Structure 1
Amino acid sequence: MPENIDADAGLDWARARGKGALAERMGIDFVEFTTERCVATMPVEGNTQPAGLLHGGAYVVLGESLGSMAANMHAGPGRLAVGVDINATHTRSATSGVVTGTCVPLHLGRSMTVHEIVVTDEQGRRCSTIRITNVIKDSPGAS
């Protein structure tokens, strides 16, 4: 499990690992990645519900993308973090521009992690708060 990985190495790790097809489709972009703080952006356009608001599920996809990646960085080689619980509270609606998710660890254990992701609009207003719990296990095929 990496201790304090520096920002450049963390971002390189995240980009090399890949963000997955859904995150790609939604336009999520990792901009900062360390063990203590991960940040990504996502456009509102293309991720809205019929009323023109950012879809609540889009907030959750951004949060899970950040929290799961952060948990996997913490897990280290030969281990795999998988989500077992996620919840979100939406407190404001974004209608345009870009939202930013900032992920910080609440608990980094040997077998479990908990991360909080705060999603803000371009004015810095909190739109959603997401909490994700991941269980860490040996990767399939790891000895």
Structure 2
Amino acid sequence: MSDAQDLTAAMPQGMGALNDKMGIEIIEASVNRVVATMPVEGNTQPYGLLHGGASVVLAETLGSMGSALHAQPDRYPVGVDINATHHRAATSGTVTGVATPIHLGRSTAAWEIVISNEEGKRVCTSRITCALLPYQPNS
């Protein structure tokens, strides 16, 4: 099964409206690494800087997607904890998030997400933990 087929199986409802509104584009998705880009424009706070919340949305998208790929076919992820450290501002261009697993277990998955600007400088480091819940028929 290809990564695209795995992703479709893991996320049958698609990426979701928020990711579409924010312009998040998935570049690569596997159990070992998930990569996406997001434009700074349209995702800024009043001072013209990339909004910290936008970075967290990108991070949660990547960590949850990786967790979904790991959990399928009998479990699905729900985020239970996320944190972010903002290192520097981004004011234009595109940021890229790269998620790598810290722990891939039966009931939880944890990921580190590094978000960088176009120059490769780290903008944000985030960590997410997802609970992996069993699918329940007819629920």
Q: Which structure 1 residue ranges, 4+ long, deviate > 6 Å from structure 2?
A: none
Aligned-pair distance for 1:80?
1.2
Q: Tell me, which stretches of 5 or more residues in structure 2 are unaligned? A: none
Tell me if structure 2 keeps the 8 A contact 1:11–1:31: no
Per the alignment, residue 57 of structure 1 pairs with 53
Q: Tell me, which stretches of 5 or more residues in structure 1 are unaligned? A: none
The number of residue pairs the alignment matches comes to 139
- With structure 2 as the length reference, what TM-score do the two structures score? 0.92
What do you get for the CA RMSD once the two structures are aligned? Answer: 2.0
Equivalent residue runs for 1:1-143 within 5 Å: 7=3, 9-10=5-6, 17-141=13-137
Aligned-pair distance for 1:15?
7.6
Identity %: 55
Counterpart CA distance in 2 for 1:33 and 1:11 is 7
Question: How has the CA–CA distance of structure 1 residues 14 and 110 changed in structure 2, closer, same or farther, with 3 Å as cutoff?
Answer: closer
Counterpart CA distance in 1 for 2:116 and 2:13 is 25
- AA matched with 1:70: G
- With structure 1 as the length reference, what TM-score do the two structures score? 0.89
